[in-house]
Amino acid sequence: MTRRLWWALALVLMVSTPAFAQLKGGVRAGVSGGPTQFVLGGHVETKEIVERLTFRPSVDLGVGNGGTILGLNIEFAYWLPAKTEPWKFYVGAGPAANIVHSNGFGTDVFGGFNLLGGVLHTSGLFVEMKGGIADSPDFKFLVGYQFKSK
Count of Cβ atoms closer than 10 Å to residue 3 Cβ: 7
Q: Where are the domains of the chain?
A: 3-146
pLDDT of residue 103: 83
Q: What is the pLDDT of residues 100-125, one digit of tens each?
A: 999 888 899 999 999 999 999 999 99
The yes/no answer on whether domain 3-146 falls in CATH 2.40.160.20 is yes
pLDDT tens, residue by residue, 3-47: 665 666 565 555 555 545 578 999 999 999 999 999 999 999 999
Which pLDDT tens digit goes with each residue over 53-96?
999 999 999 999 989 999 999 999 999 998 888 999 999 999 99
Whether residue 142 has pLDDT greater than 90: yes
**Using a CB cutoff of 8 Å and minimum separation of 24, what contacts does 125-133 make?**
126/26, 126/28, 128/28, 132/34, 132/96
Q: Cα separation of 107 and 44, whole Å?
A: 26
Tell me how far CA of residue 68 lies from CA of 3, 7, 60, 129, in angstroms.
Answer: 20, 22, 10, 20
Rounded to whole angstroms, the Cα distance separating 60 from 86 reads: 27
In the prediction, which pLDDT does 148 show? 80
State the Cα–Cα distance between residues 115 and 117, nearest whole angstrom.
7
